[in-house]
Chain A
Amino acid sequence: MVLTPDFETRPVISFQHVFKKYPTGTEALRDINLEVPEGDFLFLVGPSGAGKSTLVRLLIREEKPTKGKIFVDGVELGRMKRRKLPYYRRKVGLVFQDFKLLPNLTIYENVAFALRVLGEADHNVRSRVAEALDTVSLSGKENTYPANLSGGEQQRVAIARALVHAPRFIIADEPTGNLDPATAWEIMQLFLRINARGATVVMATHNREIVDLLRRRVIAIDAGQIARDDRSGRYHDDVAKSQVRA
């Protein structure tokens, strides 16, 4: 089942004339305007250093925009108080290229971590972790440590952790960057399933095959600007239907 994102209702993520300049002087993003409706599946593509990672870091509020406004779920990230930040992050599930698993915790503990932080009761933690591990087909590996898993399995653990608290947004930065094509494809299936359940997914990626196969919304970023925003696009704009949405 594929959920059709509703472009007519109010967007859950919205960038309004966003600029980001780092203290070093690098201008990472220039005048970014972007609207993401609830339930959207969005690829951010573009060459290294184009500004994809900066955009992701703005979205999880690791960075603040230099100019412009970013709204997520009605809250302006740039003006959010520091002590509110943890509560925002709980609405978001994050997946990274390097998995970011804790090596000295078991698979179960790694996934449970996201719930412990919320102060969930033990019996809730147990059932929800079991469910999340089942979703990523890792039931039975609860007591294994990350070092004993393959890259694909580790990324699946990270995805289980990202979705165990049922976030409304999944933000992924190069989630398949360290994986072979077959494994990358498995991981993508997981993201599609999460999206089908209603979560909005924003994914920065270099993986051309996947983007071209899935034909989802593609936003190409080049030199800090949005070069293309295609509702069902490809990695490269080789079909000559370039159309920049403001």
Chain B
Amino acid sequence: MMLRNLKFALNSAWQSFWRNLAVSLAAVLSITLILILAGINLLVGHAFSQVLQTFRDRVSEISINVSDDTPLQNVYEFQQQLAADPRVSSVQFITKEQALAQFKADPQNVVFAQQIEGNPLDAKLDVHVKNLSDVAAIDTLARRWPGVDPTDPTNYQGDFVNRMLELSSWLSLAGVALLVVLMVVSVVIVMNTIRTAVYHRRKEIEIMKLVGATEWFVRGPFVLEGVMTGLIAAAIALALLVVAYPPAVDQFKSDVGFIPLTYDPAFISNLAQDLLLAGALLGALGSYIGVRRYVRI
């Protein structure tokens, strides 16, 4: 009997979707638009977190410049002290020669490199800090070390790091807020669209109730129709986003080159999952609420 009811519900959901095509399409369209907005939000959020990750990787590395007269023994000792620090993930010693070779290898420095005489560069300790917020403490530690180059102790730019940290927390907060707003707006829109669809069929519902249909028997087809509508909308939104994502990244890269944004195909499957799930849930929830007023006996 459960199966028969399900079959009936699926049947009538499918029929009513096509019979009320105009209203169905309106619902699909509004859910599609909302899911596109949500998808863009997710993509932009993902892009930001990608960019932020790159920045984090960069600023969580701090270079401690070693003055030329520091004995090698002291440098090793300090390197070991840092390596033993739980906040540090790795320390690498770069000799003056290696530093020069690195400098010359960078294509941006071609002109400078030709003019350099001798080796003006310091040897340095490249320290990878595990947690971005611990970089300042490592910097303080390094500045107290007697072997540091007093004229240019480290490459740490506290302000920049702090601002990055602040920015990243604000951005994730804004992303979440935007998603919440989108969700609320979409449930309201879906609910009203589906309520219109239900209004057209209130006579059918009345008759169903009069011949003794249970509330779930009446509701079932509408909720299934909502899920169907949501899934169709999600598929359309997803297709549009997938098509638009790579060119949008390319355009962005050519416009704002210094921000390291990349196309991430792996994110598409995440996006697909999220959108399909959101579409189905929105459709179901919207129908459930939309039909409630008419189902209450």
A contact set with B: CB distance below 8 Å:
60, 82-83, 85-90, 92, 94, 100, 102, 104, 113-114, 116-121, 161, 165
Contacts and interface: CB of A to CB of B under 8 A. Distances in A.
Nearest to A90: B212
Contacts of B207: 100, 102, 113
Interface string B80-105: 00000000000000000000000000
A119 B5 contact: yes
B215 A114 contact: no
A117 B211 contact: yes
Nearest to A60: B210
B14 to A, nearest CB: 14
Contact of B4 (A94, A121, A161, A165): A121
Could you say which interface size class chain B belongs to? 10 to 19
Given A85-B297, A104-B19, A117 B203 contact: no
A116 B8 contact: yes
B208 interface: yes
B217 interface: yes
B213 interface: yes
B210 A87 contact: no
B203 A82 contact: no
B207 to A, nearest CB: 5
23 contacts: A82-B297, A83-B215, A85-B297, A86-B214, A86-B215, A86-B217, A86-B297, A89-B209, A89-B211, A90-B212, A92-B212, A100-B210, A102-B203, A113-B207, A114-B212, A116-B8, A117-B211, A117-B217, A118-B212, A119-B1, A121-B4, A161-B211, A165-B211
Contacts of A113: 207-208, 211
Contacts, number: 51
Given A85-B297, A102-B207, A117 B213 contact: yes
Contacts of A82: 297
B57 interface: no
Contacts of B208: 113, 117
Contacts of A87: 212
B203 A89 contact: no
B146 to A, nearest CB: 82
B68 interface: no
B297 A119 contact: no
B204 interface: yes
A183 to B, nearest CB: 22
A145 to B, nearest CB: 13
Given A94-B211, A117-B211, A121-B4, 4 more contacts: A83-B214, A92-B212, A102-B204, A165-B211
